[in-house]
Structure formats: C-alpha cells, structure tokens
Amino acid sequence: MTAYIIRRLLYAVPIALGVSIVCFALVYIAPGDPLQTLLPEDASAETIAMVRKAYGFDKPIPVQYLIWLGKVVTGDFGMSIATGRPVLGEIVKALGNTVLLAAGAVLIAFTLAFILGTIAGYRVGTPTDRAVTGFAVIGVSVPNYWLGIVLIIIFAVELNVLPATGMGPRGSDTFNLFDWNHFRYLLMPMVTLSLIPIGIIARTTRSAVAEVLNQDFVETLRAKGLMEWEILLHVLKNALPQVLAVMGLQFGYLMGGSILVETIFTWPGSGFLLNKAILTRDLPVLQGTILVLAIIFVATNLVIDLLQTAVDPRLKRG
C-alpha cells in the first residue's frame, strides 16, 4: 500500500506541474504585453523596470516560468492590481468562505441524494424510481445561477425572510456558523450550490444500490432469513464507498465551480474573488486563484483515490 501511495503521489506531480504551466500561460494568452497586465496602468517607469527585472521578463519564457514557479512555491503570487495587497492573502481569506459553502452544499446534497438514490435503486423501474431519476435530470440541467435568482425572488423579495446577498449582518467581520443571524446568509447559497451534486450523487447511489442488490450475497442473506432492513444495511455498506467517492469529487468540483453562485449571492469566497478579478482585469489575482483552486481539485481527487483503494484494494490502478 505504501508503494502504491508513493506511486500515486509521483503521478500527481506532473499533473500539478502541467496545471502550473497552464496557469502561467494565462498571463501570456491575455491580449497585450504580459508586463502591462501585471501592473496598474499608472505604474511609474521605475516600478515597471523593477518588476521587469523581478519577474525576469527579459529572459526566455522557460526561464521565466521557472522563476515564477519558484516564487509560487514559496507563496509569492505577486500583488493584486486592484488592491495592491499580496494575492496570497486575498486568496487565503476567500478560500475559507468557499470551503464553508462547498462543504455545506455537499453535506445537504449527500443527505438528500443518498436517501432518494437508495429508494430509487431499491425499486428500479417503478414510478418512484422514474420520479427520482427525473428529479436527478432536472438537478443537473438547472442552471444553478438561475435557481439562485429564483430563490432570491421567493425568499428575499416576496417573502422577505432571508437576506438576498452578503455574508453576515452589517458591521460584523467574522462569520459565526452557530448564530442564526449569520447562518441565514449561508442558507440560500448553500442550497443553490447543492442542486447539481444532488442530481449526480442520487444517480450514483441509485446505480450502486441496484448493482449491489443484484449480487449473490444478497440472495444468501435473504435465504438466511434476515429482515429486509438488515439486508438494506448490508447493501448500503457495500454501496457507500462508491457514493462517498463521488461526494468527495463533487466537493472538489464545487470548490472550483462556485463562481456563479458566489457572484449571485456576493458570497465573499474564491469564486467571487475570481469574478472581481475578471471585471477589473486583475490578472495576478486571476492566475493565483485559478492555480490554487486547480491544485485543490487535484489534491482532492488524489486523496479520494487513495482512500478508495484503502477501503477496496481491488480498485488499485497501475
């Protein structure tokens, strides 16, 4: 197993390097001189000369990449053009909020989708199954940014029971998860973001449960005279690893894919930061945020892969 872990880790290194190359290239595919895109428009000639030297823009591109990589590895993502503050600080601040949102969304999705998927998988082909499957199709087809707007219309505009945007009441700096006055700000973005994972996890659970039910050991359990709920426990235990893996992947996906929902609810997470960076053409922030989010995605996938093999050694991949 240790050898396997090391091999998977070594596999992830080239991927991470590739990701960093793509992020590095972002500044170069942007129209205009890369130097200009990294600096505010009113930068003085001295600053320009200083940055040119610091970033090594006078050197060949592969060398520039290595210089950039060296900086990034030590946590130096450059300065934000819009705020003038270090990019890393901005990302770290935003990342916590996105973790909160994505974790909440995935938990909601798992709870609901696991129940729905189990029911459907237990009764494949029945109207109940078709209803759940249909619901799952809608879940993955709904533009979640639209659902967000519809929720705002219903709960903030018409009913006026939940705040439309923001994070916490005016004047509070910290978010307290266990205070209703804070938590209500999280509610709508969390539900909106959970929609797609609900669809995907429900589908996975359904097929996993249906597959396990077809295995011989279920027949044996039934012949042994176990109660139906006891059989269900056995089935769920076997279906769970697969579902948990998909849930983990969805968490990684939401971490990087929450930009639309965060924009609608002005939830100050990494997606919102990204949107601000796009609007102000703040390329250092854009580059840094995307790099961090992509690396998180790679790391999540790796951890899930390892956990899954730990639970079920048959899944080992070359």
Q: Which residues contribute to the site for other proteins (CB under 8 A)?
A: 14-16, 18-19, 21-23, 26-27, 29-31, 137-138, 140-143, 145-146, 149-150, 152-153, 157-158, 164, 252-253, 255-257, 259-260, 263-264, 274-275, 277-279, 281, 283, 286, 290, 293-294, 297-298, 301
Q: How far is CA 194 from the centre of its chain?
A: 11
Nearer to other proteins, 235 or 259 (CB): 259
Nearer to other proteins, 39 or 277 (CB): 277
Q: Which residue has the tokens 């790679």?
A: 298
Q: Which residue has the tokens 């039934």?
A: 222
Q: Give the span between the Cα atoms of 51 and 57, in whole angstroms.
A: 8
Q: Name the nearest CA neighbour of 283 among 28, 42, 72, 75.
A: 28
Nearer to other proteins, 22 or 303 (CB): 22
Interacting residues of 206 by C-beta distance below 8 A, sequence separation 6+: 117, 118, 120, 121, 124, 129, 132, 133, 136
Minimum Å gap between C-beta 137 and other proteins is 6
Nearer to other proteins, 212 or 249 (CB): 249
Nearer to other proteins, 114 or 297 (CB): 297
Minimum Å gap between C-beta 153 and other proteins is 4
Nearer to other proteins, 126 or 141 (CB): 141
Report long-range pairs for 216-222 (Cβ below 8 Å, ≥24 apart).
none
Minimum Å gap between C-beta 228 and other proteins is 30
Question: Amino acid letter at 21?
Answer: I
Tokens of 163: 């705040």
Minimum Å gap between C-beta 196 and other proteins is 9
Minimum Å gap between C-beta 234 and other proteins is 28
Q: Which residue has the tokens 């989010």?
A: 293
Q: Give the span between the Cα atoms of 264 and 170, in whole angstroms.
A: 18
Contact 118, 201 (CB under 8 A): no
Minimum Å gap between C-beta 275 and other proteins is 6
Q: Give the span between the Cα atoms of 99 and 299, in whole angstroms.
A: 14
Nearer to other proteins, 78 or 256 (CB): 256
Q: Name the nearest CA neighbour of 288 among 269, 298, 302, 274.
A: 274
Minimum Å gap between C-beta 254 and other proteins is 8
Q: Which residue has the tokens 């900086």?
A: 71
